[in-house]
Amino acid sequence: MKAVAVFPGKPNSIHLTDLPEPSIGDIPDGRGILVEVLRVGVDGTDKEINDAEYGDAPEGYDLLVTGHESFGRVLEVGPNVSGLAPGDYVVATVRRQGSSIYDRIGTYDMTTDETYYERGINLRHGYLTERYVDDLEYIVKVPAALKEVGVLLEPTSVAEKGIEQAYEIQRRLKVWRPERAAVVGAGTLGLLATLILRLRGLEVTTLARTEPLTLNSELVEALDARYASTRRTSLKEAAQEYGPFDIIFEATGVSTVAFESMEALGKNGALVLTGISGGDRMVEVPGDHIMLGFVLGNKVAVGSVNANRTYFERGVQDMALSEAQYPGWLNRLLTHPVKGLENYKEMIRLLTEEKGAVKVFVEVNGRR
């Protein structure tokens, strides 16, 4: 069976490979689910993996099958699987259980283990292949009405988790009623965070470098959110004009933005950092101002990575709500389809060169 893989540590090693067929018997206790892959989305993490900046091969392999944003259809289920049947549309979560207490209660996204296992990213093969098998714990059902946009569930789950962290933390305030939010970054994650915050009824300002009009700025405005270019309006100015921000959701991976967000955050506000800043850049920041503002304003900053199945389930609900409230909006994110696993070179090219791309995704199996 075909799969797209890299040799971790070797830049630009993406290639087509052959994998043995998975079977439900590979998963213990009759809990296996065999899934036919229909679509796989790609993002900056896949680019970094191909650039050999990130990712490791599973034990016993020198290659790693990539792709962590999956969408597929159940082919076969083990004897102890309930709630899922052949023909159901599904998405698989990404991280797999480690050994910390958090892993053992199903919150593997909160692991404190040094080593973490992520399908398509680190030490576990991903979904850019024809079929995969996994334990029922990691497979989330998607209603057929969402099949055209189901491939967006993984990035949606990451946004869901980040926002949920803010709400959980803010229970400290007893009467928290967030009214205004800023999202920094208008890529897939920033757009999905904008959507989720709008669905919660917040007034949202989404900031990104590029000046309008772009598809991204149009997508923000289609949610009745405000788009601002940081070339014209700094985050600080945006806070004065459109704030105070009760939530700032960072989705850029740029560390200077993290500190600017700390300054721009309103009193009692929560800052959620989700960008993966791969480098080792040193930055100069107004440390005294930021610290004073944090202390006198009772502010909070939290980092958030990955998502467990709870956030995938929440993502399904919000995607359904989105179709009711902003019909067709999610579909507009799916800008660049790539036909077939064989076209992995085109996939990487679009991911690195196509400035107008929101979501690049591979159509793995034609029939749906």
Q: Which is nearer to ligand BGC, 127 or 242 (CB)?
A: 127
Alpha carbon of 258 to those of 117, 170, 253, 255, 331: distances in Å?
26, 19, 8, 5, 30
3-state secondary structure the chain: CEEEEECCCCCCCCEEEECCCCCHHHCHHHCEEEEEEEEEEECHHHHHHHCCCCCECCCCCCCEECCCEEEEEEEEECCCCCCCCCCCEEEECCEECCCCHHHHCCCHHHCCCCCCEEECCEEECCCCECEEEEEHHHEEEECHHHCCCHHHHHHHHHHHHHHHHHHHHHHHHCCCCCCEEEEECCCHHHHHHHHHHHHCCCEEEEEECCCCCCHHHHHHHCCCCEEEECCCCCHHHHHHHHCCEEEEEECCCCHHHHHHHHHHEEEEEEEEECCCCCCCCCCCCCHHHHHHHHHHCCCEEEECCCCCHHHHHHHHHHHHHHHHHCCCCHHHHCCEEEECHHHHHHHHHHHHHCCCCCCEEEECCCCC
Q: Considering the complex, state which of residue 68 and residue 96 has its C-beta at the smaller distance from ligand BGC.
A: 68
Q: Which does 24 bind (CB under 5 to 8 A by kind): Zn ion, ligand BGC, none?
A: none
Residue (303 or 356) nearer to ligand BGC, CB: 303
Residue 97 sits in the site that holds ligand BGC (CB under 6 A): no
Least distance from Zn ion to the Cβ atom of residue 325, Å: 25
**Based on CB atoms, which residue is closest to ligand BGC, 47 or 141?**
47
Q: For the chain, what's the residue count?
A: 368
Least distance from C-beta 154 to Zn ion, angstroms?
6
Binding partner at 305 among ligand BGC, Zn ion, none, C-beta below 5 to 8 Å by kind: ligand BGC
Contacts to ligand BGC from residues 251-310, by CB under 6 A: 276, 305-306
Alpha-carbon span 72 to 91, nearest angstrom: 6
Q: How far apart are CA 100 and CA 200, in angstroms?
A: 33
The residue (of 24 and 272) whose beta carbon lies closer to ligand BGC is 272
Residue 129 lies near Zn ion (rule: CB under 5 A) = no
- Among 27, 94, 149, 193, the residue binding ligand BGC under the rule CB under 6 A is 94
Q: 94 contacts which partner out of ligand BGC, Zn ion, none, CB within 5 to 8 A by kind?
A: ligand BGC
Judged by CB under 5 A, the residue of 8, 22, 39, 43 near Zn ion is 43
Residue among 5, 32, 45, 338 that touches Zn ion (CB under 5 A) = 45
125 binds, among Zn ion, ligand BGC, none (CB under 5 to 8 A by kind): none
Footprint of Zn ion on residues 234-293 (CB under 5 A)? none
Contact window for Zn ion (CB under 5 A) among 36-44, 104-112, 217-225, 254-262: 36-44
According to the binding rule CB under 6 A, does residue 118 interact with ligand BGC? yes
Which 26-85 positions form the footprint of ligand BGC (CB under 6 A)? 43, 45, 68
Residues 159-218 within binding reach of ligand BGC (CB under 6 A): none
Query: Which of the choices ligand BGC, Zn ion, none does residue 133 contact, using the CB cut-off of 5 to 8 A by kind?
Result: none
Amino acid residing at 116: Y
Token digits of residue 256: 């200077």
Q: Does 194 sit near Zn ion (CB under 5 A)?
A: no
User: Binding of ligand BGC at residue 158 (CB under 6 A)?
Assistant: yes
Alpha carbon 338 to its chain centroid, in Å, reads: 20
For helices 235-242 and 255-264, give the axis angle rounded to 10 degrees: 30
Residue 198 binding: pick among Zn ion, ligand BGC, none (C-beta 5-8 Å cut-off by kind): none
Residue 306 touches which member of ligand BGC, Zn ion, none, C-beta under 5-8 Å by kind: ligand BGC
Q: Of these partners, ligand BGC, Zn ion, none, which one is at the site of residue 93 (CB under 5 to 8 Å by kind)?
A: none
Q: Which residues bind Zn ion (CB under 5 A)?
A: 43, 45
Chain positions contacting ligand BGC, by CB under 6 A:
43, 45, 68, 94-95, 118, 121, 154, 158, 276, 305-306
